[in-house]
Amino acid sequence: MTEKILKCFREKFGDGGDIRCYFAPGRVNLIGEHTDYNGGHVFPCALSMGNYGVARKRDDRILRWYNMTYPEEGVREISLDELKPNDNGMWFDYQQGVIWAMQKEGIDIPGGYDMVMMADLPAGSGLSASASIEELAAVIVRDLYDLPISMIDCARFGQISENEYNGSNSGIMDQFASAMGRKDHAIFLDTSDLSYEYVPLNLKNEKIVITNSKVKHNLTENSYNSYNTRRKESEEALADLQRVIDINSLGELDEELFDKNSEYIKSDICRKRAKHAVYENQRTIRAVSALRNGDLKAFGKLMNEAHISMSRDYGASCEEVDILVEEAWKLPGVIGSRITGGGFGGCTVSIVENEHVNDFIERLGEIYRERTGRTAEFYIADAGDGAGRIDKD
């Protein structure tokens, strides 16, 4: 992959100088959806798929980017001094947003750079392609100019980019997983204070299978509005609860305390959104405990419950994804299956016994095609390392 990008880089920007290679992964979230901006826990892992980049410093303040995945866009060029927030949602906006966020936070970026990138991660699939692009930009600038920022800072700049430059009010999970991933581990992250633990994924007889519904999410205006609306509804529920309980986030509640006070949430819809946030947070805590104890059956049951909550209480699924999950539950060897990512399309994540993986892919693909007319894509997920500089091929 990097050799191909290096060749393109030399064609677009010339040879010579200190040319470096980078990678930033996408992520799959095993459980804990829409809890990150509600002060709860999440449990993602970085993937071995993501965005690759090749970059070289410039001696001026110009940024030049070329994306081999979107060659029709040509070379994008802008000055460090001309970056302005927008809601276009183009791949280069996520790059620009990170640079803008760094400068906004007082980071001195001495100069620009030339960069060519290419992805093996499908956009709009719920696997955090945008966060992968953001973290790619963050590690490129950090490394090229030896900036005194941590990888957690890189994740934070990515979230600022998403929220303030690109107009999507997401939490920090996606960027954190891309920046901080560790091979063969998932990250148990408390988003209220960014404390985290690496938990080994000891799946000796099982595989994590991602199924792409091919229904894109978070690319259209309506999708962004849906995501942002969910956050607004959660915030309204929190504001109502804060009139009677001393809390800073929904993540501070357990099920009992929520049920005792849920009547104070004025809107029925906001009450359902808050119920998901609270119950999902507690499910995530229990799921990680089950995994540590080797109880994969309990983990899978909680995954299934998480999907029902995402679909019915949070309203963040869609017909096609519900079909994938509900049909997966019926197949042999499936320990658990649920929607993953922001929702409104995208992917499901399933844990499947090794001996049933091939049959799972074949049968679920057939059923999905028959019921929707769409052709799903399947990926066997490997938990990989986070973003950083890589060796040239």
Which positions are catalytic? Answer: 174
Spatial strand order of the sheet with 113-119 comes to 76-79, 62-67, 113-119, 44-57, 20-29, 388-390
> Which amino acid is located at 326 in the chain?
E
- Give the span between the Cα atoms of 72 and 303, in whole angstroms: 40
- Calculate ∠ Cα 273-328-280, nearest 5°: 25
d(C-alpha 181, C-alpha 202), whole Å: 16
Q: Which residues, at least 6 apart from 89, have a Cβ–Cβ distance to it below 8 Å?
A: 130, 166, 167, 168, 218, 219, 224
How big is the chain, counted in residues? 393
Measured between alpha carbons, how far is 24 from 42 in angstroms, rounded to an integer? 20
Question: What is the number of other CB atoms lying within 10 angstroms of the CB of residue 71?
Answer: 9
Residue with tokens 């040239």: 392
Residue in the block written with tokens 């990170």: 98
State the residue for tokens 């990515």: 158
